Amino acid sequence: MLNNGTMNQDAVITVLQALASPARLDVYRLLVRTGPEGMVAGEIAQALGLPPTNLSFHLKALAQAGLLTACAEGRYQRYRAHIPSMLELIGYLTEECCAGHPEQCLSTPSGNACLDAALGRNELPPE
């Protein structure tokens, strides 16, 4: 997960499951905001109001997914967001859009209401 190759489906599912919990999404975004400085576990627990036991559980899931790195500092553990994993996830989720013709996703209204909805177009002009 720390390598920069293409993620396989199992790895992507692990990442998505890691992010798909309110507590873990909060932890991850907090660390994204903090950037290279990161935070130690106790600071995260205090910032989010999570019991340490529960936070540990969630940190483990995020780290195993490759979304965080953990770094010992004496008796503290510093955690940081691992940005390349997020970039790989995004690549996996968007690759082969429209079979390699992504311009189709943003073309002009089709006259088909369902199709336009799928493409995020308004049927009626916004008021």
Partner DNA sequence: TCAACAATTCAAGAGTTATTAAAGCGTTGG
Partner DNA sequence: CCAACGCTTTAATAACTCTTGAATTGTTGA
Q: How far apart are CA 107 and CA 102, in angstroms?
A: 9
Nearer CB in complex with DNA: 32/69:
69
Among 47, 52, 76, 115, binds a second copy (CB under 8 A): 115
Residues in CB range of 26: below 8 A, 6 or more apart: 48
101 near a second copy (CB under 8 A): yes
Q: What's the rounded Cα separation, in Å, for the pair 10 and 116? A: 33
Choices 42-50, 52-60, 97-105 (CB under 8 A): range interacting with a second copy: 97-105
Structural element, H or E, at residue 73: strand 68-73
Residues 3-62 that bind a second copy (CB under 8 A): 4, 9, 12-13, 16-17, 19-22, 25-26, 29, 32-36, 38
What is the nearest approach in angstroms of a second copy to the Cβ of residue 52? 21
Q: With CB cut-offs between 5 and 8 Å by kind, which of a second copy, DNA, none does residue 53 bind?
A: DNA
Q: What tokens were used for 52? A: 């340490």
CA pair distance 6, 92, nearest whole angstrom: 8
Stretch that binds a second copy, among 43-51, 54-62, 64-72 (CB under 8 A): 64-72
- 44: Cβ–Cβ under 8 A, 6 or more apart, which residues? 27, 30, 31, 50, 55, 59, 79
Q: By CB under 7 A, name the binding residues for DNA.
A: 17, 20-21, 23-24, 40-43, 45, 51-61, 70, 74-77
